[in-house]
Amino acid sequence: MSNKPPPTRMNLTTFKAKRVAAKKGYDLLKKKADALKMRFQAMLREIQKTKLAMSQEASDAFFSLSQAQYAAGDFRHKVIESVTTAEIRLENRIDNVAGVKLPVFTEVETGREKGENIGLTGGGGKIQNCREKFRVLLKALIKLASLQTSFVTLDEALKVTNRRVNALDSVTLPKIDGIIDYIVRELDELEREDFVRIKKVQANKIELAKLEQAKLDAEAASGAAPPVFTPSDADIMAAFEPAADADVVF
């Protein structure tokens, strides 16, 4: 059985409305996909830039750590003892890009630990320099984590949007167009059939009228008048005979 709808004017109007709605949805999704793609490419460039910068910052941080250890010895246990709370905490907010919610991490400094006693015996400047270098590296890591998390979310949203755009462009719209073309062709064929049928009926009426006129013309040419029924006196009297109402009882 064919899955095509009946070729009626109502179905034609319905599928034209569906075509308009599908085209509008396609245009909106295409704009969304373009916006996501632009943000995706910008984010990819930012990730690459951040990774390059972070590699240099990591190199500087660990080099400063080596300098501090050379100047002050092993001070890890002193750092652990001096830390009571985290100096940097993370806050999570949502960035909306074309309807896609992207997580963004930002660092918040809660206050620096004093730790003046670290490095008093030697290498204090190197330790402070090492602390600053690792603070910069930590911020770069937070930025990179935020970018990569948003990048993964954006990549998935972009794939879903592109699939929807391709489905509308390659499946839905061509299917609706095919149904509309089918209904239009069938309606045109029905109109042609109705036109031929009407012409045949008119031709038959004209032919019958011609035959009737020819018959009348033939009778007029022969001089014979058409028979006219004239009731006789006997027929008139017979209508009033009692026998005609024999079944009536008074």
Mean pLDDT of the chain: 81
| pLDDT the model gives residue 210 | 83
Q: Is the dihedral of CA 7, 12, 14, 15 positive or negative?
A: positive
Alpha-carbon distance 86 to 193, whole Å? 86
| Percentage of the chain exceeding pLDDT 90 | 32
The pLDDT-based confidence of 28 (bands split at 50, 70, 90) is very high
**Among 13, 162, 183, 187, which Cα is nearest to 175's?**
183
Q: Is the Cβ–Cβ distance between 101 and 94 less than 8 Å? A: yes
pLDDT digits (tens, 9 = 90+) for 50-69: 999 888 888 888 888 888 87
End-to-end CA distance of the chain: 73
* pLDDT value of residue 216: 83
- 173-222 and 9-72 helices, crossing angle to 10°: 170
Domains of the chain: 9-184 (1.10.287.3240)
Q: Cα dist. 233→14, 72, 244, 249 in Å?
A: 74, 156, 16, 27
**Does pLDDT of 184 surpass 70?**
yes
Please, which residues have CB within 8 angstroms of residue 117's CB and are 6 or more apart in sequence? 78, 82
How far apart are alpha carbons 169 and 14 in whole angstroms?
19
Residue 139 has pLDDT above 70, yes or no: yes
Decide: 89 and 34 in contact? Cβ < 8 Å: no
Euclidean distance between CA atoms 12 and 20, whole angstroms = 12
Instruction: Specify whether the CB–CB gap between 55 and 144 falls below 8 A.
Output: no
Categorize the per-residue pLDDT at 192 as very low, low, confident or very high, splitting at 50, 70 and 90.
Answer: confident
pLDDT band at 18 (very low <50, low <70, confident <90, very high): very high
Q: For residue 249, is pLDDT > 50?
A: no
Q: How many CB atoms lie within 10 A of CB 90?
A: 12
Is a pLDDT exceeding 70 seen at residue 111?
no
pLDDT on residue 130:
82
- Average of pLDDT values for 98-126? 70
Q: Provide, rounded to the nearest whole percent, the portion of the chain with pLDDT above 70.
A: 81
Q: Tens digit of pLDDT for each residue in 56-109?
A: 888 888 888 888 877 777 767 777 777 777 778 888 888 888 888 888 888 887
Higher pLDDT, 157 or 2: 157
Tell me whether strands 100-109 and 88-97 are parallel, antiparallel or unpaired. antiparallel
Statement: residue 17 has pLDDT above 60: yes
Q: At what angle do helices 124-167 and 9-72 cross, to 10 degrees?
A: 170
* Segment among 22-26, 132-136, 224-228 with least mean pLDDT: 224-228
208-223 residue pLDDT tens: 888 888 888 787 887 6
Long-range Cβ contacts of 160-167 (<8 Å, 24+ apart): 161/29, 161/32, 161/33, 161/36, 162/33, 164/29, 165/26, 165/29, 165/30, 165/33
Our measurement of the distance from residue 7's CA atom to the centroid of its chain's CA atoms, rounded to an integer in Å, reads 27
